[in-house]
Structure 1
Amino acid sequence: MLKVQDLHVHYGGIHALKGVSLEAPQGKVVTLIGANGAGKSSTLRAIAGLLKNKKGSISYNGKDIGAMNPVEVVKSGIAMSPEGRRIFPHLTVYENFMLGAYSREDKDGIARDLKWVYELFPRMYERREQKGGTLSGGEQQMLAVGRALMSAPEVLMLDEPSLGLAPILVRDVFEIIKAINEKGMTVLLVEQNAFAALKVAHYAYVLETGRIVLEGTGHELSCDQRVREAYLGG
């Protein structure tokens, strides 16, 4: 289980997270929803070890990971597909995937996971020798998620995976999230498309200005009038 308790994050003089506490149980999809600037991405970046100016506790399977650097976090079993994809545009699809596996030495396992990623994203197999920067936005999102999966994580954190995608691709992204979760992987999802996120989530948290203001099952929050008015168009 991934557990965050009383997490505070500062950017210079800005208090971005003000005591966030959440849990992501093993094998579940947990989503964070909220407006821009609510602190969703900051929460993921803090867990990933990318933010240092923080206090509170972050633990995974009972082990404190709050002081780990990003490489150590990945080796502990937590990977992130960042907002904006952040692929390597001058490297091929295959090379991007191999960089996702940089912390691994199990060649057989890497080959097995590469096969699985290509099965999840058949288009990536077709474009495996194509440079990442020449892919469409939707294809780059597939590449970013696949690259994170190549580290063989137990917890996959996804930061705005549907951002900027056409509706048909958004549907595909959420089908892939379900497929990943069905293999037993825990998913911590940050997503502005609250309707789609709540539909796939076992549990959800609502962030506003750095604080969690509501939590419950995906179904409970999708039926909550406050959530419907603020994020689901009434």
Structure 2
Amino acid sequence: MNILEINDLRVNYGAIKAVQGLSMSIKEGSIVTLIGANGAGKSSTVRSIAGLNKSVTGEILYKSENILGKQPEEILKKGIALSPEGRRIMPHLTVLENLELGAYIRNDKEGIKRDIEWIFDLFPRLRERSKQLGGTMSGGEQQMLAVGRALMSNPELVMLDEPSLGLAPILVQEIFSIIRKINEMGKTVLLIEQNAFAALSIANYAYILEVGKIILEGEGKTMLKDPRVKAAYLGG
């Protein structure tokens, strides 16, 4: 069953057409990746799903309901969370406070406590630094915190925008193994990535974007072997 379906999505910033008639779907329980160069329209797509873009037309169906035009908070309450590009954690709050902030739409205190423990199990380094200010941590730790914060709203669909950007190779491996774990725990994942090899290696399905349009799609493993994808995104 598709948890999300997008039909003829168009996103404009003034005269700039960031997304031009994009249609895609995401099966419940899968990892789907959107790959493309800078400016391909990847972030514009996920920001539109999250309700953060205003000049948007088309249809975004979440569990068969059109959520286009709804407020970000309403979309979050429906079960869609975004870990944005550039992390955007609160630098003057501690790790624990950042995680608690991620659960602001919830009022089940016991559930929140349990999920904080789950995040600390997923990211042991966050447990060690639970009282540390977010802004004083390394880029990799801030990325872990951004993902953890997105998970604290207890979403069914979690969107990760460039989670490996600017990270050392060893940390990239760690982040991707955690994305797999998140998926194994029943979350559907929409992954936006420039690291095509890492994304295609874990994705069930992939869409390749160029200048706001999908030019290729298929199973992640199949895309890894596609000569066009190899030439453009995997260094030949």
TM category, shorter: over 0.9
Q: CA deviation at 1:108?
A: 1.4
- 1:120-154 per-position Cα deviation (integer Å, ceiling 9, x unaligned): 00110110000000000000000000000000000
Provide the residue aligned with 1:185 in structure 2: 187
Secondary structure, counterpart of 1:139 in structure 2: helix
What pairs up with 1:27-106 in 2 under 5 angstroms? 27-106=29-108
Q: Per-residue deviation at 1:64? A: 1.1
Gaps spanning 5+ residues in structure 1: where? none
1:106-125 equivalences in 2 (<5 Å): 106-125=108-127
4+ long deviations beyond 3 Å: none
Aligned-pair distance for 1:112? 1.1
Match of 2:215 in 1: 213
- Which whole-Å deviations, capped at 9, do the CAs of 1:166-208 have from their partners, x for residues lacking one? 0000000000000000011000000000000000000000000
Cα RMSD, aligned residues only: 0.5
Query: Which of these residues, 126, 129, 136, is aligned with residue 127 of structure 1?
Result: 129
> Which residue is 2:6 aligned to?
4
Q: Which amino acid aligns with 2:82?
A: M
Unpaired runs of at least 5, structure 2: none
Secondary structure, aligned partner of 2:121: helix
Aligned residue type for 1:132: G
Report the AA paired with residue 5 of structure 2: K
Distance 1:111 1:229 in 2: 47
Per-residue deviation at 1:160?
0.2
Q: Distance in 1 between matches of 2:13 and 2:193?
A: 22
Select the residue among 13, 19, 27 that pairs with 1:17. 19
Number of matched pairs: 234
The Cα shift of 1:109 comes to: 1.1
Task: Tell me the alpha carbon deviations over residues 28-80 of structure 1, each in whole angstroms, 9 at most, x when there is no partner.
Answer: 00000011100000000000000010000001111111111110110000000
2:196 equivalent in structure 1:
194
Q: Work out the CA distance in 2 between the residues paired with 1:97 and 1:24.
A: 27
TM-score, normalising length: structure 1:
0.99
User: In 1, Cα distance between the equivalents of 2:94 and 2:5?
Assistant: 36
Identity %: 63
CA distance in 1, matches of 2:90, 2:228: 40
How many angstroms apart in 1 are the aligned matches of 2:55 and 2:101?
A: 27
Query: Structure 2 length normalisation: TM-score?
Result: 0.98
Q: 1:25: Cα distance to partner?
A: 0.8
> What is the CA distance between 1:232 and its match in structure 2?
0.3
- How far off its partner does 1:220 sit? 1.1
Instruction: Provide, for residues 100-121 of structure 1, a one-character-per-residue CA deviation record: whole Å limited to 9, x for no partner.
Output: 0000011111111111000000
Cα deviations by residue, 1:78-104 (Å, 9 ceiling, x for unpaired)? 000000000000000000001100000
1:223 equivalent in structure 2: 225
